[in-house]
Amino acid sequence: MKCAGIKQLLSEYIDGVLDAQTKEHLEEHISTCANCRQELQELKALVKDLGSLKYTKAPDDFIDRLHERIEPSFSLRKIMKTLFVPMRIKIPIQLVTVTATAVLVFSVINLQQPVMQLSDVPMVLEKEEVKQEVIKEPVKPTPGRKIFVQKPASTKTVAHKKQKPTKAKDIALKGLKMEKATDKKAFVRTMQKEKRTIELALVLKTGELGKANLQFAPKEKALSPERVEALDEESKAYLGSSSRSRIAGKVAAKEEVFADAAKKDKKAETPLPAQPAELKEKAGEPELDVDKITEKLKKLVKDLNGEIKSIEYDNKQGHPIFLTAEIPADKYTVFYGGLKEMGALHGPTPAVNENKKEMIKIKLVISK
Amino acid sequence: MKQKEKTSQGSASEDAELIKAFQAGKKAAFDELVLSHKDKVFNLCYWFVGDYQDANDLAQDVFFKAFKALKNFRFESAFSTWIYRIAVNTCKNRLKSFQYRLKKKFVHLNNTAAAKNNPGVEIADESSSPEIELGRKEKSRLIQTAINSLPTEKKAVVVLRDIEGLSYEEISSVTGFNLGTVKSKLARARQDLREKLKGEV
């Protein structure tokens, strides 16, 4: 074995961990190699020196100092831990809570601001405002559709009606319900002023519109039963909400009627997709289809000596979506029947004893 | 001397009993463990970092860590091995820390000239002769400097073996090196020290 190999083993030789054979071999080498013998001596001396180094002891106050560090963890640190470590977790949660509350309060205040402003409006101005409300009252705040009922509002009646509830209203204005309250009042006034308004919803027949759809909106396929149902629900919901604002008493009865009508219509519609031959033929000329509906409605109203007040058209497909008209009260039965031919109709069924001379206002919502 | 230290440190079975007592809620048992192990831990720290105050802080850290971890002690090794392992890791981390390196550099720049004449650390000693005492201190300082210059792993092995007197197996257990690595690292560390101290000691 060469010196390099021997030198690597010297350390183990000093510690006496070499196996007998290697040890013998090493000793044999050392006896002949002065260089390695020298190194062994030096290493032995080093190990001895290292072993005889003064044992550096810990200071006397070592354990006291340690106690100072440990004991707080028995008492103070434990308290600190239970108090502040969970706090560290709590703080973000509290922060979140605080932030959420702040955002909520801020948004509520912001939302309330218009209401507050309304309540601050002087009395004279308030009259004006109510008047406006009556004139431009959104019928159905559906996004994308702008529908406004145009009613000739008589300022006198409004002003007259107003006088009484002003004080009570002042109190009511304070709360959030204020807006709804005024809405209701406006409705009540409208009802009294205009004698009678009948709201109707017409869901156009599937067969007819299916074709119209294919022509005008190729993406949207023929109405599925689900879609019809959804629309039914929609119109029902709409009617429900508007009827809520009507005079109490009528409401319950009407809603029942709506429900019945809806059921009937669904039954009549789904199993019988086949329409009268006449309708089918007309539907065969799709360009005329949209106008057809309008034309039909106009004709219907005209035939009954009625007057069309306004028609709103859908922006995309161009078919009428909202119609207001005035017809003689005794012609309502005919009008109702005429509409029913066009599709599923939701609205109050004609009563038997109609006052002939009275004009009734019809609000018709048309959907597909 | 090493032998004397070892016997005064108590046996592994005594340690195990004390740990069990501590885990059972007898906090005073920890004090006994500290008393029987503090010096060897302190000595290791001292030779590892070469500064008495640093060694004191480190040894405190070691026992504080041990105190926090002792309730989870699973008797997979002897307490002494376990505490050495904590000590070696604590010292290694200290040497690695930026703060320590900065301090070392700063002290080095300021004390290069002064250090030669100043042994730095005052170690209580009951030696009789002042000459012997002086020579010993000088030797100790030289060895300290040589050890300090070793890389951390070699330093750990040589301190554990030649200063703390641990067996190869114990060193393997403390450092996590296998036996062969311990042997080779120790051999090289000794060689390095021999060369560094050649002609000085």
pLDDT, mean of residues A280-290: 45
What is the average pLDDT score of chain A? 65
Any A CB within 8 A of B22 CB = no
Residue B111: predicted pLDDT: 53
- Asked if the model's pLDDT at residue B192 lies above 50, the reply is yes
What is the average pLDDT score of chain B? 83
Distance from CA of B185 to the nearest CA of A (A): 10
| Phi, psi dihedral angles at A317 (to 5 degrees) | -105, -10
Any A CB within 8 A of B191 CB = yes
Which amino acid, one-letter code, is at A32? T
- Sheet of A320-328: strand order equals A307-313, A320-328, A359-367, A197-204, A343-346
Percent of chain A with pLDDT over 90: 14
Strands of A159-241 (E only): list them: 197-204
Torsion, CA B42, CA B49, CA B188, CA A17, rounded to 10: 0
pLDDT, mean of residues A24-32: 92
Cβ distance of B183 and A17 shorter than 8 Å: yes
Lowest-confidence range among A48-62, A123-137, B157-171?
A123-137
Give Cβ neighbours of residue A108 (< 8 Å, ≥ 6 apart): none
Question: What is the tens place of the pLDDT at every residue in A116-127?
Answer: 444 444 444 444
Tell me the Cα Rg of chain A.
Answer: 46
Q: Give chain B's count of helices (H) and strands (E).
A: 10, 0
Give how far Cα A60 sits from Cα of A17, A66, B87, Å. Answer: 38, 11, 19
CA distance B143 to A14: 19
Any A CB within 8 A of B4 CB = no
pLDDT, mean of residues B21-25: 91
C-alpha B47 chain-centroid distance: 5
Strand-strand pairing, A148-150 and A136-138: antiparallel
Residue with tokens 């036996």: B179
Percent of chain B with pLDDT over 90: 58
pTM of the model: 0.47
Residue with the larger pLDDT of the pair B82 and A134: B82
Cβ distance of B1 and A59 shorter than 8 Å: no
Residues of chain A whose C-beta is under 8 A from some C-beta in B? 7-12, 15, 17, 39, 42-43, 45-47, 49-59, 62-63, 65-66, 69-70, 73-74
pLDDT-derived band of residue A76, with 50, 70 and 90 as boundaries? low
User: If you measure CA to CA, which chain A residue comes closest to B33?
Assistant: A63
Residue with the larger pLDDT of the pair B167 and B1: B167
Cβ distance of B64 and A70 shorter than 8 Å: yes
Give how far Cα B98 sits from Cα of A52, B45, B104, Å. Answer: 33, 18, 10
Which amino acid, one-letter code, is at B164? E
Residue B31: predicted pLDDT: 92
Cβ distance of A11 and B187 shorter than 8 Å: yes
Residue B10: predicted pLDDT: 53
